[in-house]
A and B are shown apart, each in its own frame.
With several copies, the nearest count.
Chain A
């Protein structure tokens, strides 16, 4: 069975985010002065073929920890799995 997951990788709080800052800096010129704390991270979508959703999720967990994020600076979160029609 195929399961589609989304992994969100975000910069740890406390670390400076140059991309977020740049967006925040660009907003006022476009007329938006009420936006704060912009943080830019990654969104990774992937499909895992596994017997159960639990097995698939465990694997995504491991991939997120070992490859998709760098624990020194990033946190990750996994959005719920959707089953994908075969």
Chain B
């Protein structure tokens, strides 16, 4: 965030205070070792009560990877994430296509834009029951889909077997969004692709506009 001019404030899981931040990012990592299910235990962390309240009040909340899993577990986002279809952890740069501009991450990004961002997860296969899936698609809640470099969505470019190649979704209100790829690992050109830049820039814009 700092690279883009924002300021990060780390929040401790056992606290109950969001320290007045303008946006909440639940980062990746392995909360509680991801034992049981990814995010299953973390979503009961005391700070999550505040995050739920913040989200209900329309505050922008972004979940990345493990953070996405936590938001699904907490019921803030639809669906669930299970083990990759290969059953193996995957760390690789993928392409995702932006499917909706109605999220704090994509407000400033055109639908159809293709971004290069790394994924690194063992449990990133997005699933939902048939009805849920129909609703997610019907209401346009899909924010990102895995795709090829030219934007084609097909099985070959679906790294983990996610239903409908879904890489990220939002809630109905559009203020909570989660995704498996790691935009924060795609900001610094020294380290590789920079597909995360427009997303995090959009989040900053969005958060500032609300102040």
Contact = CB atoms under 8 A, between A and B. Distances in A.
Q: Do chains A and B touch in the complex (CB under 8 A)?
A: yes
Interface residues of B, number: 28
Nearest to A11: B82
B44 A72 contact: no
B87 A22 contact: yes
Contact of B44 (A16, A18, A29): A29
Contacts of B125: 18
Interface stretch (B29-37, B97-105, B150-158, B188-196): B29-37
A59 interface: no
Contacts, number: 66
Interface string A1-40: 0000000000110111011011100100110000000001
Interface stretch (B1-9, B112-120, B126-134, B139-147): B126-134
A23 B34 CA distance: 11
> What is the interface of chain B mostly: helix, strand, loop, or mixed?
loop
A26 B72 contact: no
Q: Which of under 10, 10 to 19, 20 to 34, or 35 or more describes the interface residues of A?
A: 20 to 34
A60 interface: no
B198 interface: no
Contact of A19 (B35, B45, B161): B35
Contacts of A30: 44
B40 interface: yes
Smallest CB-CB A-B distances: 3 pairs: A19-B35, A22-B35, A72-B80
Interface of B: 32-33, 35-37, 40-41, 44-46, 72-73, 78-80, 82-87, 125, 127-130, 132, 161
